[in-house]
């Protein structure tokens, strides 16, 4: 029997949820507001939240100074490309771990996840030298490979969790009907796990889009994504907060819009299998 929830309890929970949400959103709001200020108003003390002289000159200067659309195209290619490549590798891997009994599956999964605990700077020099020797520095191909490798443990873990919720009897029935291994994965398993795969895809696009460490160290100009585009507004002369905020707003706007329109699918995928 469901436990009754009082109106007061609902109000408290709602207020707490709004407080947490606004706290998380406030840095984004502050960045957006600062992007419409002049440089003098951006560093004013005390700062003004809404009552200032609104201007769009920062966006004009950012577009005039930098090739925003080239950086945007690089971010799209790197984030989407690395995620799709990761899914091609992770789906068969997660299938084998979820449906092929083995004693060490959990140990292997934990080992994969442990690679995310290593500070990236610890492997920067060997990766940089490998990329230099193979001609992958400042290339989209190189960044797609790096993003795939650093996010692959998360992709496999998420897909393994979703695949474990699918009854094995369905796959056994497909085998009895003569389905080959790849037909089983492609035509039976994958369609049933679409919500989980979609949420994994969306989450890893966001992770790759926001990755800054590797993009700043392995690119110069040709393959630089939007994270490098933002960093270019930090100069020896100082920080131009208004222009930096405008560049940041232009960099996060596409991923915010994607997240807004795909939030239903993302939540559905993250709760996939939670209710029997």
Which distant-in-sequence residues (6+ apart) come within 8 Å of 55 by Cβ?
Answer: 36, 37, 38
Task: Give, for all 276 residues of the chain, the pLDDT tens digit.
Answer: 456 668 888 889 999 999 999 999 899 899 999 999 988 888 888 888 778 888 889 899 888 888 899 999 999 999 999 999 999 999 888 888 887 776 777 788 888 888 888 888 888 999 999 999 999 999 999 999 999 999 999 899 888 888 888 887 887 888 888 878 788 878 888 888 888 888 888 889 999 999 989 999 999 888 999 998 888 877 655 678 888 899 999 999 888 888 888 777 666 656 655 444
Which parts of the chain fold into alpha helices (H)? 7-34, 39-42, 57-65, 68-99, 105-114, 124-133, 140-164, 168-176, 181-183, 190-192, 194-210, 213-218, 226-231, 241-261, 263-270
Contact indicator for 21, 263 with CB cutoff of 8 Å: no
Q: Which domains does the chain have, with CATH numbers?
A: 66-232 (1.10.3720.10)
Quote the CA–CA distance of 210 and 126 in Å, as a whole number. 23
- CA 77 centroid distance within chain: 13
pLDDT value of residue 116: 82
Separation between Cα atoms, residue 104 and residue 187, nearest integer Å: 28
CA dist., res. 142 & res. 136, Å (int):
5
Q: Enter the pTM of the model.
A: 0.84
């Amino acid at each position: 029997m469901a436990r009754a929830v009082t109106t007061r309890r609902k109000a408290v929970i709602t207020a707490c949820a709004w407080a947490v949400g606004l706290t998380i959103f406030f840095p984004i709001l502050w960045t957006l507001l600062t992007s419409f200020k002049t440089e003098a108003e951006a560093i004013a003390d005390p700062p003004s939240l809404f009552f200032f002289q609104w201007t769009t000159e920062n966006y004009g200067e950012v577009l005039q100074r930098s090739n925003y659309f080239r950086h945007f195209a690089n971010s799209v290619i790197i984030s989407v490309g690395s995620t799709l490549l990761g899914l091609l590798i992770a789906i068969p891997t997660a299938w084998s771990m979820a449906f092929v009994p083995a004693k060490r599956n959990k140990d292997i999964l934990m080992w994969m996840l442990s690679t995310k605990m290593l500070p990236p700077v610890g492997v920067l020099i060997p990766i940089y030298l490998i990329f230099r020797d193979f001609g992958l520095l400042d290339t989209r191909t190189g960044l797609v490979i790096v993003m795939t490798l650093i996010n692959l443990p998360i992709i496999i873990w998420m897909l393994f969790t979703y695949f474990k919720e699918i009854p094995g009897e369905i796959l056994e029935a497909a085998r009895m009907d003569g389905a080959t291994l790849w037909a089983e994965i492609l035509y039976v398993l994958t369609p049933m796990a679409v919500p989980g795969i979609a949420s994994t895809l969306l989450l890893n696009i966001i992770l790759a889009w926001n990755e800054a460490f590797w993009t700043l160290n392995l690119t110069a100009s040709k393959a630089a994504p939007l994270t490098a585009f933002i960093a270019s507004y930090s100069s020896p002369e100082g920080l131009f907060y208004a222009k930096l905020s405008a560049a940041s707003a232009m960099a996060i706007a596409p991923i915010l819009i994607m997240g807004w329109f795909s939030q239903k699918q993302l939540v559905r995928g993250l709760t996939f299998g939670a209710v029997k």
